Amino acid sequence: MLKRGYLLLLMIISISLLTSCDDTYTFKSQVKLETLSASMSLYEDDLTESINLSQFIITNIPDKELVVTIINLPQHGNVELRKHQDEGYVAIYSPDVNFYGFDSFDFQVSNGKLTSISSVYIRVKAKNDDPIASDIKLTVYENSSLTINLTEYVIDIDSEQMIYTIEMLPEQGYVNLSENYLTYTPSEGFLGDVTMRYLVKDDQGGVNSGTITIKVVPKPASLSN
């Protein structure tokens, strides 16, 4: 009986202590703000590429209290930050002309008390540009030969090794191609214009062609002898 009475007394005391305290307890969750690093890739010929930075922000802070800014700009391009109602903060990156390689920029997220900074790493992949083959217009005397260095009429910013071929032969005369040197010899006694086409291919598969127009003119009397 004494033991049961003792247990009953402890229960009464515990209930009294509980009821003497406030009935409502307020728990505050811990404020969290964290950002993750991100990566993106594009080709050098792409004008822009975008990335949604909001997907790399981990927080329980309301969006309206957050401020996102770009704090370190990329070295080989530009970045623009836009806020969309549905998507959140979107960064739009545009590489410099003909740049390929690695680039990056840093973004910061803050609510005025907490701040987090992360980086976006960018890979701009190379894309071969076709060579530019210029049209050629030259003059040669009858019964003479003309040699053309085709490299003087071709531009390729990606490659230095070129392969030249004749795509269309002239109707009059003879053509000899040795590496990048093209030699034209008109038929004996021929005067007038001839047209041919040459093809240039770089070591990455880029191809282009140009037109060669040659005017065969009479040799001056002073040079005939």
Q: 61 pLDDT exceeds 70?
A: yes
The whole-number average pLDDT for the span 36-61 is 94
pTM of the model: 0.60
The whole-number average pLDDT for the span 12-23 is 46
Domain boundaries, the chain: 33-125, 132-217
pLDDT band at residue 4 under the 50/70/90 scheme: low
What single letter denotes the amino acid at residue 22? D
132-217 CATH choice from 3.30.420.310, 3.40.718.10, 3.30.350.10, 2.60.40.10:
2.60.40.10
The percentage of residues in the chain with a pLDDT greater than 90, rounded to a whole number, is 72
- In CATH, the number for domain 33-125 is 2.60.40.10
pLDDT (tens digit, 9 = 90+) per residue, 67-106? 999 999 999 999 999 998 888 999 999 999 989 999 999 9
pLDDT (tens digit, 9 = 90+) per residue, 212-225? 999 999 988 777 65
Mean of all residue pLDDT scores within the chain: 88
Q: Annotate 9-22 with three-state secondary structure.
A: HHHHHHHHHHHHCC
DSSP 24-84: -----PPP-EEE--EEEEEETT-S-EEEEGGGGEEESS-GGG-EEEEEE--SSEEEEEEEE
Better-predicted residue by pLDDT, 138 or 31 = 138
Domains 33-125 and 132-217 share a fold: yes
Helices (H) and strands (E) in the chain, counts: 2, 18
- Facing residues of 107 across strands? 70, 118
Quick one: pLDDT at residue 222? 72
192 Rama sector, left if φ>0, alpha if ψ -120 to 50, beta otherwise: left
Report yes or no: 125 and 105 within 8 Å, Cβ to Cβ. Answer: no
pLDDT band at residue 9 under the 50/70/90 scheme: very low
